[in-house]
Amino acid sequence: MNFLDLHRWDVTPLEAIEIQNRLRRQLILDQAPAVIRTIAGVDVSNAFGSNRLFAAVVVLDLQHPQPKGFPILEVATASLEVAFPYVPGLLSFREIPVVLKAWEKLQIRPDCLMADGQGIAHPRRIGIASHLGLLVDLPSIGCGKTRLIGAHREPGPLQGEWSPLIDRGETIGAVLRTRDGVSPVFISPGHRMTLDRAVEIVLSSQLRYRLPEPTRMAHQLVNEARRAA
């Protein structure tokens, strides 16, 4: 398998795993951006048993919060018919193609991206947030609503409290309470990111909902795009 193969999407599950094993070595996890001015939220929507996927990317201005939320600097959407099925651990190969199609329309290059799913909290330490961060060469954060792998204690009930997510003796993420009393989200560094910075950035992009604004807005926008289609 040569370098070009790492950019093919019409692969078998076995080939996908091999690509992940090669790509994971390129991840940078010992440094993170000190300041984030703009952040992109990424989400994908898929209609009930269909292979027609929709993606939305929304760029938010974290530096100038308004009463209603963070200013939306840009939105890009796309749709695509895909063949790769949903396989736990191989989500990237189903969802990233349509995300890249939307991403290419973006005029702004954000400082960071946040994806709906895991970063390194993945069996091979390369979830969709890590994979996407590598492809667009940006710091990235995974923000999943549920767990893929790892064990953890129940985090404290207050906003900002978190418990480490641990797999094979390694801390791979944080189970973070984003608001008092809500069920926690699963945060993990994706690429060019550390866990502590990921948690800080998530909390700084937090408004009054369970999900941080980047993924919450992206989820809202992708559903609008899908209904309009």
Partner DNA sequence: GCGACAG
Partner DNA sequence: ATCTTGTCGC
Which parts are annotated binding residues?
Answer: 43, 116
Q: Which residue in 55, 57, 91, 198 binds DNA (CB under 7 A)?
A: 91
Q: CA dihedral defined by 178, 206, 199, 197, rounded to 10 degrees?
A: -170
Strands 52-61 and 38-46: antiparallel
Q: In the bound complex, what is the minimum distance in angstroms from residue 118's beta carbon to DNA?
A: 4
Q: In the bound complex, what is the minimum distance in angstroms from residue 37's beta carbon to DNA?
A: 26
Length of the chain: 229
Q: Which of residues 166-225 bind DNA (CB under 7 A)?
A: 222-223
Q: Token pair of 18, please? A: 């091999």
Q: Which residues contact 204 (CB under 8 A, 6 or more apart)?
A: 36, 62
Please tell me the number of Cα atoms within 13 Å of 175 on its side-chain side. 20
Does position 118 interact with DNA (CB under 7 A)? The reply is yes
Segment lying near DNA (by CB under 7 A), choices 100-108, 110-118, 153-161, 193-201: 110-118
Does position 48 interact with DNA (CB under 7 A)? The reply is yes
Q: In the bound complex, what is the minimum distance in angstroms from residue 104's beta carbon to DNA?
A: 20
Judged by beta carbon, residue 31 or residue 51, the one nearer DNA is 51
**What angle, 0 to 180 degrees and rounded to 10, lies between the N-to-C axes of helices 128-136 and 13-23?**
60
Does position 145 interact with DNA (CB under 7 A)? The reply is yes
Decide: 111 and 33 in contact? Cβ < 8 Å. Answer: yes
Instruction: Please report, as ranges, the residues that interact with DNA according to CB under 7 A.
Output: 43-49, 86, 88-92, 116-118, 122, 127-129, 142, 144-149, 222-223, 226
